[in-house]
Amino acid sequence: MKRFFMLLIGVIVCQALAWAQPKPTFKTTTHDFGTIKEAKGPVKHTFEVVNTGDRPLVIVDAVASCGCTRPTYTAKPIKPGKKGKVEVTFSPIGRRGTFRKTVKVRTNAPDKYSTLIITGTIIPKSKE
Looking at the predicted structure, is the pLDDT value of residue 21 above 50? yes
Provide the CATH number for the domain around residue 115.
Answer: 2.60.40.10
Q: Per-residue pLDDT tens for 68-98?
A: 999 999 999 999 999 999 999 999 999 999 9
At 20 the pLDDT is 81
Task: Grade residue 126 by pLDDT with cuts at 50, 70 and 90.
Answer: confident
Domain that holds residue 16: 2-127
**Domain count within the chain:** 1
Q: Per-residue pLDDT tens for 44-74?
A: 999 999 999 999 999 999 999 999 999 999 9
The pTM score is 0.83
For residue 15, give the amino acid letter. Answer: Q
